[in-house]
Structure 1
Amino acid sequence: MKKTAVLVAGSWGTALASVLADNGHEVVLWTRHPEQVHEINALHTNSRYLKDAVLSGNIHATLSLEEAVRGAAAVVLAAPSSGMREVAGNMQPFLSPHTLVIHAAKGFEADSLKRMTSVIAEELPQQNPDRIVVLSGPSHAEEVIVKCPTTIVVAAKQLEAAEAAQDLFMSPYFRVYTNPDVVGVEVSGALKNIIALGAGMSDGLQFGDNAKAALMTRGLAEIARLGVALEANPLTFAGLSGFGDLVVTCTSRHSRNWRAGYMLGQGKPLAVVLEEMGMVVEGVKTTRAAYEMSKHHQVRMPITQVLYQVLFEGKEPKRGVEDLMGRVRTHEIEEIAQEAAGKWLG
């Protein structure tokens, strides 16, 4: 039995803790909230995030970051992207250089526009950055916690680290693939939330399946276009962390980003949407970050641009979709194929 720490005790962190506990590991789940510690330890539930799901007795919650991290063979960072730097920095004094560090966040740091592995590497100088693992893919916490079959990806520059994470999580209902393309896995995991906002908005406007299919397809091209500019492998975007995660996030009732977009499409202001959601909606901050990145790298991202205008400049959602449909004619197979061929086929 290996001691594994999971930070923090939101829906995804709790679901991942459950997978680890089912695999026989001793899991310490860290949270800042005393009432959550009491509920998890006394009742074996985390009702705010996962209703009445019963948690394993192998999961122990704590308010102490030192108790969670010290002596752990692996630490899973499931904090929102906005809190990743703080959590990683605070746990640094208690972390062994040999501890496997895995993050499961899907977003960029708002100010620096950095990916999460870069943020974590800066805060944990004692760790080999090539051994920092990202876990991503089509995986709703609400389904993982009840053991629905799920398949995800773990990526690290060092194969041994990815395989260690694979061994840690692999189970009869939780299948894990490895991938060396850290950039592609992180970029696709973050950007699909933007497209999910758009898909929800389209559904909220009652625009139908044709419009959503078009938005998802062109959205994937947009994700890949920025990913290739950041030197990701274009094949990653056709895999679980790209196409797979995009599909599940754009079509599922469990998706926070889809639900937020749906409410926007119904005419609710962003502030009201975020208040009613009551949980982090990564796609909102990611839209701002991706908009800035697209300008910096001179990458065309029309869906991201329109969503930026809706979220932060007051554009009406209906007008935004009309603007997308009325864009200048273009070819479907575009420059991304040429860029990919140049970078990956020699």
Structure 2
Amino acid sequence: MAAATLTVCILGFGNWGSAIAKIIGTNVRNQQFASTVKMWGFEEAVNGRKLTDIINHDHENVKYLPGHKLPENVVAIPNLSEAVQDAELLVPTTPHQFIHKICNGIMGTVPKKALGIAHNEAITEGPGGLMFISDIIPEKIGMDISVLMGANTASEMAAGKFCETTIGSRVIENGLLFKDLLQTLNFRITVVNDADAVELCGALKSIVAMGTTFCDGLHCGNNSKAAIISLGLVEIITFARIFCKGQVSTATFLESCGLAHLITTSYGGQDCQVVKTFRRTGKPIEKLEQEVLNEQKLQGLETSIVVYRFLKQRGLLDKFPLFTTVYQICYKGRPPTEMITCLQRHPAHV
């Protein structure tokens, strides 16, 4: 494939999808990709106007990324089939709850030579147990999927602040192609061939971040919060070695997708925002998604459910006290003080 023929389509109108659209829309002007970047998302009305019309005329996603102008070559398309037609590079950013529906909608439309890079921070339950979101897309439409995870919040990306990220790819040449598409001076990318571990880091870090938020609510201080992050990293690595296909490199967890992503999310990710409100109000999560996240879907809480079930079925709950405690606080009515008890009883602290 000649690089000049590559057309990009971003799937998702959320804050992160809009932030990456800003980067891609600017970047393609200086590199060998088609100059028009297509963007698809679920159509909705904002103050009586269609969101796609607002993006195309005002060049701003006023609902999910207000205050940040999108490049004029980013074109919002409300029809999914039309958006992906002839698109050789797909960038799915929608919550994992919609992946099956989207894949069903684009089967037979996406070019056979298309490649994808996903930013879906979750794992889900499949017929044979847990499965990666990146496994669903190849299974349904046959394309190779790389994954992108790292310490890069949407607002800071859109503001042009320095961020790092990690691309995990089973075919390293495909990861390097997406690096050419995405990297800028302030959005620095490392490519590794440990795709499963990269994706797992993105999913599990949200469970740890919920634990640090409970710690914040108890006013335990930064030392306790750091201890939770440290224990969380240990559990992420341990889980990866149980779950991931093939050998896992410890070095991957020191990339942006690992420790840095864990720290960033623990100090202000979307899961933290919702858990703080959940802790204070006790409102249902579905209600908080509407109120706190502007109707965007939360990933971490559902991930904690599927991870808990996976561990319980295999008799491994005792090996993952932090993951287990977060689940029990969120869904079994256990008090947030259990987070401190979890730290006190962990073998490393006995």
Same fold (TM over 0.5): yes
Distance (whole Å) between structure 2 residues aligned to residue 164 and residue 124 of structure 1: 20
Q: Per-residue CA shift, 1:192-247, capped at 9, x if unaligned?
A: 01111111121122221111111111011011110011243232112211101001
1:258 is displaced (CA, Å) by 1.3
* Residue matched to 1:324: 342
Using the TM superposition, give the Cα deviation of residue 332 of structure 1 relative to its aligned residue in structure 2, in angstroms.
6.6
| Percent identical residues | 24
Instruction: Determine if the alignment matches structure 1 residue 57 to structure 2 residue 75.
Output: no
| Residue of structure 2 in register with 1:260 after alignment | 274
- Give the conservation status (yes or no) of the 8 Å contact 1:153–1:177: yes
Is the Cα–Cα contact under 8 Å of residues 3 and 74 in structure 1 kept in the other structure?
yes
The offset of 1:296, in angstroms, is 4.1
Paired AA for residue 90 in structure 1: G
Match of 1:236 among 252, 270, 273: 252
Aligned partner of 1:122 in structure 2 is 139
Deviations 1:12-58 (CA, angstroms, capped at 9, x unpaired): 11111111101124211101215210110111111111112111101
State the alpha-carbon separation in 2 of the partners of residues 50 and 274 from structure 1. Answer: 16
For this pair of structures, how many residues does the alignment match? Answer: 325
Q: Distance in 1 between matches of 2:201 and 2:12?
A: 22
Candidates 21, 44, 48, aligned match of 1:17: 21
Partner AA of 1:264 in structure 2: F
Counterpart residue number, 1:336: none
**Distance change in 2, residues 1:330/1:173 (3 Å):** same
Q: How far apart, CA to CA, are the structure 2 residues paired with 1:263 and 1:214?
A: 23
* 1:323 Cα deviation from its structure 2 partner: 3.1
What is the CA-CA distance between 1:275 and the residue it aligns to?
4.1
Residue 331 of structure 2 aligns with which residue?
Answer: 312
Q: For the aligned residues, what is the CA RMSD?
A: 1.9
Is the 2:214–2:339 Cα contact (8 Å) retained in structure 1?
no
Q: Residues of 1 paired with 2:250 and 2:315: CA distance? A: 18
Residues 1:31 and 2:7 are matched in the alignment: no
CA contact (8 A) 1:200 1:265 kept: no
- Which residues of 2 match residues 141-180 of structure 1 at below 5 A? 141-180=154-193
Matches within 5 A, 1:184-333: 184-231=197-244, 232-252=248-268, 255-266=269-280, 268-271=282-285, 272-277=287-292, 278=294, 279-299=296-316, 300-318=319-337, 320-327=338-345, 330-331=347-348
- TM-score, length basis structure 1: 0.89
Give the alignment's TM-score, normalised by structure 2: 0.88
Task: State the AA in 2 paired with 1:301.
Answer: F
* d(CA) in 2 for partners of 1:326, 1:155: 35
Write the distance in 1 (CA, Å) between the matches of 2:20 and 2:55. Answer: 14
- Separation in 2 of the partners of 1:199 and 1:304? 12
Letter in 1 for 2:266: C
CA pair 296-165 structure 1, distance change in 2 beyond 3 A: farther
Deviation at 1:156, TM superposition (A): 1.1
